[in-house]
A and B are shown apart, each in its own frame.
Chain A
């Protein structure tokens, strides 16, 4: 079945360090890909998305490129801040009949130290 695998955390970085969180997927169709972020004690927020191969999603300094050949959607940020400390989820979705189910990775916790 379809699945999403993302690197295990926790990831601990110093402020201004470069961030990469790896995400790979398996899917039978042509999914849309997402990164969601969950700040402590809060709900899930859409961070960025890409809907077809070679699309680059970007938001708040974060980027991810939809790579069909490697079935990957790695999240990157050039210079992290303390305020980026959160749990990051990679997810995919496509229309499966009437269901537009999101299939999730298990999340990667990021802690950024000043």
Chain B
């Protein structure tokens, strides 16, 4: 089954403790992206990647890092999480703008 797999689904952590949210897709898509969803603000792009070793900032990249060492994986790294990063995070991939995006199930992160 074609899918994007994110882990974990839920995470509660403390301020400053580094964490990684994993994302993996099995569709051989070149393009992957991370979004965060917040009430009243909708979905905002954090980072995207056009291919292996090619990443760039989206609209709200501060406080986040990403890497793309393999085509299928695109982890999101929070080096020093803060409470304002409490949010619902989605990973997505696509083979092209006309085809739509496949999203992961989301990761609900709470930073206390």
Give a binary string over B21-62; 1 marks a CB under 8 Å from any A CB, 0 the rest: 000000000010101000011110100101000101011000
Q: Is there an interface contact between A104 and B101, defined as CB atoms closer than 8 Å?
A: no
Binding site for B on A (CB under 8 A): 31-32, 34, 36, 42-46, 49, 51, 89, 93-95, 98-102, 104-107
Q: Is there an interface contact between A43 and B97, defined as CB atoms closer than 8 Å?
A: no
Interface-centre pick from B54, B90, B101, B106 (highest chain A CB count, 10 A): B101
What number of residue pairs across chains A and B have CB atoms under 8 A from each other?
A: 62
Q: Is there an interface contact between B100 and A106, defined as CB atoms closer than 8 Å?
A: no
B75 interface hit (Cβ, 8 Å):
no
Our pick among B97, B100, B103, B104 for the contact of A94 (Cβ within 8 Å) is B97
Our pick among B43, B48, B96, B102 for the contact of A104 (Cβ within 8 Å) is B43
Q: Is there an interface contact between B90 and A44, defined as CB atoms closer than 8 Å?
A: yes
Binding site for A on B (CB under 8 A): 31, 33, 35, 40-43, 45, 48, 50, 54, 56, 58-59, 90, 92, 94, 96-98, 100-106
Give bound CA distance, A34 to B101, whole Å: 10
A49-B105 in contact given A98-B50, A106-B40 (Cβ < 8 Å): no
Our pick among A32, A45, A105 for the contact of B103 (Cβ within 8 Å) is A45
Give bound CA distance, A49 to B100, whole Å: 7
Q: Is there an interface contact between A98 and B54, defined as CB atoms closer than 8 Å?
A: yes
- Smallest CB gap from A46: residue in B: B100
Q: Is there an interface contact between B103 and A43, defined as CB atoms closer than 8 Å?
A: yes
Interface-centre pick from B35, B102, B103 (highest chain A CB count, 10 A): B103
A105-B42 in contact given A44-B90, A100-B94 (Cβ < 8 Å): yes
Q: Is there an interface contact between A101 and B45, defined as CB atoms closer than 8 Å?
A: yes
Q: List 27 A-B contacts (CB under 8 A).
A: A34-B100, A36-B103, A42-B105, A42-B106, A43-B90, A43-B103, A43-B104, A43-B105, A44-B103, A46-B100, A46-B102, A49-B98, A51-B98, A89-B42, A93-B97, A94-B97, A98-B48, A98-B50, A99-B48, A100-B31, A100-B33, A101-B48, A101-B59, A102-B92, A102-B101, A105-B42, A107-B42
